[in-house]
Amino acid sequence: MSFHVTPLPPHLSLLSSLAGAALKAGEVILRIRAEGMTVAHKADASPVTAADLAAEELLRAELARLLPGVPVIAEEAVAQGKGEALGTGAAPAGTFLLVDPLDGTREFVGASGEFTVNIGLVEAGVPSFGIVLAPAVNKLYAGVTTPAGGGAFLAGLDAHPDFWTPIRCRPVPEKALVAVASRSHLDPQTSAFLGDLDIAESISCGSALKFGLVAEGRADLYPRFGTVCEWDVAAGHAVLRAAGGSVCRPDGSALPYGRTQEDYRVHGFIARGAAA
C-alpha cells in the first residue's frame, strides 16, 4: 500500500508527506489486525488495542520529523495524560497537529473495514491540512487550504496508486438530501434532526469516512450531536473545507480547536456539502 505523486506544487508537498506517514501507520494497523489482538478499555470505557498504540507511536515519530517543533495532540497520549498542553488550561500553539491513529476502533475490532487514520494540521484555529486514510478499503482522502492554493483529493490505492483524483462537494439541495450518519454512535438527537429533513437516502458508515463521502459529493450532510474529540473531526474538516464544504457547531458558529481546558471535546457538529 503505497503511492508517489510528482511533480507537486509547493503547497501540496506537505500533504503528500503527511499521506505517506498515514500509509506507514496503516500498514502497522493491518499487520496487527491480521495477527490478532487483545482489546482493552480506557477510563471512558472506549476500546483500545495494540494497533492504536503502535500507530500513534509511529505517527508521532514521523510527524516530529516532518514538522519539528509542532505540537502533536494525539488521542492515546491524551488518554494517558501525556498530551501536549493537557491540563494547563491554555490552548496549544497557533499551529498544531491533531491525530487519531485509529478512528473507529469498534469497526476495527469487528468485521468492518470502516476505520481510519486521521491527521489534521490546525493553523490559526482552522484545519488547513487533512489526511483520512482507510487502509482496509484502500481509500485515502486528502485536503489542503492555504493562501498559495489548495484542493481535495481521493486516492484509490488499489487501482491507481500514483494518481490522486480531485474531488468537490456537490451543492446541498433543499429536498431529497443524502445523509450519512454514524454506524456505531447514532444518538437520538441526530436521528431527530434527520427526521425533520427531506432525506432521500441515509448511509450508515464508520469513522471519519463520513466526511469523505460528503467531500466527494456522494452525500450532502453529516450531523453528529454526540460528544466527540477534536482529533475525530480535524482531518475530515480539513478535507471537507478543501472540497468546498463546511463544518460548524449545531448553532452555526465556527468549530473551535485547541480547547485544552475542555480536554479537546467537541459537543456536536454538522458537516455539509457546498452552499447551493
pLDDT exceeds 90 at position 140: yes
> Within a domain: residue 2?
no
pLDDT exceeds 60 at position 160: no
pTM for the full model?
0.90
Which CATH number does the domain housing residue 211 bear? 3.40.190.80
Q: Which residue has the cell 494540521?
A: 121
Give the range of the structural domain holding residue 187, as residue numbers without chain letter: 177-272
Instruction: Note whether 246 and 153 are same-domain residues.
Output: no
Instruction: Note whether 93 and 19 are same-domain residues.
Output: yes
Counted domains in the chain:
2
Q: Is 245 left (phi over 0), alpha (psi -120 to 50) or beta?
A: beta
Q: Please answer whether residues 222 and 246 qualify as being in contact, where contact means their C-beta atoms are separated by less than 8 angstroms.
A: no
> Within a domain: residue 172?
no
Instruction: Note whether 20 and 156 are same-domain residues.
Output: yes
pLDDT value for 184: 67
Among 167, 201, 233, the domain boundary falls at 167
> Within a domain: residue 181?
yes
Among 137, 167, 197, the domain boundary falls at 167
Q: Please answer whether residues 210 and 185 qualify as being in contact, where contact means their C-beta atoms are separated by less than 8 angstroms.
A: no
Q: State whether residue 190 is helix, strand or coil.
A: helix
> Within a domain: residue 204?
yes
Query: What pLDDT band is residue 41 in, cutting at 50, 70 and 90?
Result: low
- pLDDT tens digits, residue range 217-251? 999 999 999 899 999 999 999 999 999 999 999 99
Q: Measured between alpha carbons, how far is 252 from 247 in angstroms, rounded to an integer?
A: 9
Which CATH number does the domain housing residue 79 bear? 3.30.540.10
Task: Of 5-19, 90-104, 171-185, 228-242, give the lowest mean pLDDT range.
Answer: 5-19
Among 167, 196, 222, the domain boundary falls at 167
Region 60-67: what's the mean pLDDT?
A: 95
pLDDT value for 141: 96
pLDDT exceeds 80 at position 183: no
pLDDT value for 4: 45
